[in-house]
Amino acid sequence: MSVVFTLEVRPYGSSGAYTDITDLLKEQGFKWSRNDIDAANSGRDTQDGLMHRRRVASPKRYDLSCRPLRQEELSALLTLIDYEWLDVRAYDPKTMTKVTKKMYVSTVPATFLFDDGIKQWWTGVAFNMIEQ
């Protein structure tokens, strides 16, 4: 059974509906990664040269890049992801299922592209969602 890729977001703990932001992403605009966090005593031993490691967590990170957005789309996106914490539902390539994670958003740049006389357009919208 295949899972259709979607990226859905809502404020953390909300019982409201998720907002699907998949259509705001550009082609290849979703990058999944695992970020290992090691214990303080992990590292290479200078006596025997061996690497000693104790992984304490592996939070997931999504690097997102958007297609050019109209002002209204950008405003709605920035409002949606402005919460301290978000519930995020997305496809997990490891488990091959849709998963829900508590995540936060880091810096969100946006560059004004042009005004076509009807709409204002923005580009360069990219941000990370990082698991708690």
- Give per-residue pLDDT as tens, 100-120: 999 999 899 999 999 999 999
Q: In terms of pLDDT, which residue wins out, 2 or 69?
A: 69
pLDDT for residue 3 is more than 80: no
Q: Does residue 2 have a pLDDT over 70?
A: no
105: left (phi over 0), alpha (psi -120 to 50) or beta: beta
| Overall average pLDDT of the 9-35 stretch | 96
* pTM of the model as a whole: 0.86
30, pLDDT greater than 70:
yes
Give me the residues paired with residue 97 across strands. Answer: 92
Residues 6+ apart with CB under 8 A from 67: 24, 25, 26, 27, 29
Structure tokens at 36: 């290992």
Mean predicted lDDT score pLDDT of the chain: 93
